[in-house]
Each structure stands twice: as structure tokens, then as C-alpha cells.
Amino acid sequence: MTFARDPVYVVPEEEARSIESLTLKLAEQYNGPEDEELLRELPILAAELPVDQRRYLRSFALDDRLGYCVIRGLRVDDSRIGDTPPHWRDRPDPSPEFPEEILLLLHGALLGEPFAWRTQQDGRLVHDIFPIKGYETEQMGVGSTELLTLHTEDAFHPWRADFLLLGCLRNPRGIASIISDIDVDELDSAHVDILMQENFIIRPDDSHLAVNNIISESDGDMFSEIDRLKKDDVRVAVLWGDRNAPYIRIDPYFMEVPDDNPEAAEAFRAIEDLMERSVHDVALEPGDILVINNHRLAHGRRPFTASYDGRDRWLKRVSVTTDMRKSRAKRGAATARLI
Ligand SMILES: [Fe+2]
């Protein structure tokens, strides 16, 4: 039996070349990352990835012990993908980096079903992460000069991703992602009890706001849903699952602890401190795919100064769910990917 123990899996060079040929070939056959035929075929196509790589990811997902892993050694053609764009809007479809988007989707299909939000990046399935002028100080993937504080992806949402995949297209200055995998044994047992109770409020982050998306009249409903989540007072637990190795759901920047609960406030400060103490850097290299177990690990990004010269750090992001049915009521069809 193979356990995924080392968080870095290095793809042998020969295999990386054949994976590159595969994604280049698929990019000729399909129309773009949202091509329904491509999405239907993904798990079948992913069976063409090397068996050791698939076995590693399978263990990573099933064992549920590592908070993250990095698939390293995959190839990115820097000249084909062109400059880091100034914005994710108004890009060609398919884009020059369609093979790299396919690569990310194939890895996603080994873990579950890729999905996205109608309220983020205009409903795109594969998101871009690069600095955008005017957004420098925002707590979003397109920000830069501020620390992107540790968070569970889409922590506010009951249907948030089970896995998050970040594919690195370029990162010449080695700007680090940050991750924090806490050891629950370092928390006071009374604090764990309180953190496992529904004492905490998480508001949607700003990337889901209408002001950051193109909004049409028919879209009004979904943003009013986000508005409702922003206002409403549903309380959730920060820790859940197995008490000895609990899952985590946290985004302190967008969270509130109700004033009437000083014990919850104290427990929350304790886990925030532990999270800060447990932080470490992962600087992605071109071709790296960082897979985050979104129930184990909070993540973020170090601050940096963008150059806006076409060479800025550029990642692609895909969210994956292991259960499409839970969001069926909010998706237009069984095969629809947008919530
Ligand atoms: Fe994130």
C-alpha cells in the first residue's frame, strides 16, 4: 500500500514530456476549459496521466492526512502562454494557456468534479490569479501589496471546495503562497470543544460581490443570495469531524465572534495564534500544481509589489467537489458546473 507521505511528488522528465504532448493534443480537440464534451471526458482522459502520479493523488485524497501536496516537474511553455495579462476579462477563448488549464482540470478530475461560482470571475470555471491594477490592497487573488490572510477557500459557503488546485504558470520572483496546517494537540481541550460548536459567523469575501463581476439582470438573484449570506447570522463551527484530527473552516478576516460569547472569542484567538505560529511558505515554480485539502489547511499569500510588465506571478485556480449533488438545487442541470 502506498501512502502519500512526502508533500512533493516529482514527475520524471520523460513523463512530463508525454503529459505535455497529451495536453497540447487535447487543446486542439476541444474548444476551451468550459467545453461540455471536455468536462464530460475529463476522468477518462485523466487515465492517460502516468499511473504513479495518479496513485499518489489517490492516496493523498483517500488518506486525508496531508493538508497539501505539490505535483512538480510539469512543463509550461513560457513563450506560448505569453505575457501575464492585465485582467482576466476580455481574454481570448480558448486562451494560449488552454493546455495548462486542461492540465489542471485533468488533475482535478482525479479528485472529484471541477465546479465554480456564478458570483466569481464572471462564472469562469478556471480562474486566473495575478495582480490587477487598482486591486493591490484587496483580500483577493488579484491583490498584491497586502498579505492575503490565511483562509479556507470560500469558508462562508456550505458547498465550498473539497480540494483547491493552483497551477503555477510563472513566478520569477518566487512569491510564496502560505499554508498553515495546525496541530490540534497544541490547543487547549476546552477551546477545541468551543471551536467544534456553532459559535462563529463567516461572511462572504469580496470576490463574490456584484461590484467585482459583470452583472446582468438575470444575475440579480444570485448576488442577492450573497447579500443574504453577508447579512445573515448563521453560526458555524470552526472545527468539525474527528475530534483528534478535526477539519477546519476559518477565514478570520471575514469572521465575527458574537459579542455575547467571550469564551468563543478566547477560543478563536487561540486558534488564530496557533494558525499564525504554524504558517509556512510554499513558493511555486512554473509547472507546479499545488493541491490543497480545503478541509485540512488554511492558505494565503505573502505580500508583493507587482511590476505589471507581463512577468508578474500567474497562477490558475480550479475548485473541486467530491459531491455535486449537494448543490444540485442551485445548478441549472445535473452536468452544470456553476453554483
Ligand atoms: Fe484562497
Is residue 154 within 8 Å of 161, Cβ to Cβ?
yes
Q: How far is the CA of 162 from the centre of ligand 1 (A)?
A: 13
Q: Is the pLDDT of residue 91 over 80?
A: yes
Q: How far is the CA of 28 from the centre of ligand 1 (A)?
A: 31
Q: How far is the CA of 299 from the centre of ligand 1 (A)?
A: 6
Q: How far is the CA of 148 from the centre of ligand 1 (A)?
A: 8
**What confidence score (pLDDT) does residue 23 get?**
98
pLDDT bucket at 1, cuts 50 / 70 / 90: very low
Tell me which residue of 283, 276, 306, 291 sits closest to 57, measured CA to CA: 291
**What confidence score (pLDDT) does residue 320 get?**
98
Tell me which residue of 162, 157, 178 sits closest to 64, measured CA to CA: 162
Q: How far is the CA of 167 from the centre of ligand 1 (A)?
A: 13
pLDDT digits (tens, 9 = 90+) for 250-303: 999 999 998 889 999 999 999 999 999 999 999 999 999 999 999 999 999 999
Please report, rounded to a whole number, the percentage of residues in the chain having pLDDT higher than 70: 91
Q: How far is the CA of 272 from the centre of ligand 1 (A)?
A: 17
Is residue 155 within 8 Å of 250, Cβ to Cβ?
yes
Q: Is the pLDDT of residue 209 over 70?
A: no
What number of H helices and E strands is found in the chain?
8, 15
In the chain, the domains with their CATH numbers are 8-181+280-330 (3.60.130.10)
Largest interatomic CA distance in the chain: 60
301 φ, ψ (degrees, to nearest 5):
-155, 140
Q: How far is the CA of 241 from the centre of ligand 1 (A)?
A: 22
pLDDT bucket at 119, cuts 50 / 70 / 90: confident
Is residue 171 within 8 Å of 70, Cβ to Cβ?
no
Q: How far is the CA of 153 from the centre of ligand 1 (A)?
A: 5
Q: How far is the CA of 282 from the centre of ligand 1 (A)?
A: 14
The sign of the dihedral angle between the CA atoms of 129, 133, 135, 139 is positive
Q: How far is the CA of 317 from the centre of ligand 1 (A)?
A: 9
Beta bridge partners of 338: 116
Residue linked to cell 459583470: 214
> Residue type for 283, please?
A
Q: How far is CA 204 from the centre of its chain?
A: 15
Q: How far is CA 137 from the centre of its chain?
A: 20
| Mean pLDDT estimate for the chain | 93
Please report, rounded to a whole number, the percentage of residues in the chain having pLDDT higher than 90: 85
pLDDT digits (tens, 9 = 90+) for 126-165: 999 999 999 999 989 999 999 999 999 999 999 999 999 9
Residue linked to cell 495518479: 54
Beta bridge partners of 283: 176
Class of residue 329 by CB neighbours under 10 A (exposed 0-12, middle 13-18, buried 19+): exposed
Q: Is the pLDDT of residue 58 over 80?
A: yes
Taking residues 109-113, report their average pLDDT.
98
**What confidence score (pLDDT) does residue 245 get?**
93
Is residue 205 within 8 Å of 156, Cβ to Cβ?
yes
Q: Is the pLDDT of residue 323 over 60?
A: yes
Q: How far is CA 114 from the centre of its chain?
A: 11
What's the rounded Cα separation, in Å, for the pair 51 and 61? 15
Cis before 94? omega within 30: yes
pLDDT digits (tens, 9 = 90+) for 9-36: 999 999 999 999 999 999 999 999 999 9
Taking residues 200-217, report their average pLDDT.
71
Residue 114, SS3 per DSSP: strand
Q: What is the pTM of this model?
A: 0.92
Is residue 109 within 8 Å of 42, Cβ to Cβ?
yes
**What confidence score (pLDDT) does residue 233 get?**
74
**What confidence score (pLDDT) does residue 258 get?**
85
Q: How far is the CA of 123 from the centre of ligand 1 (A)?
A: 16
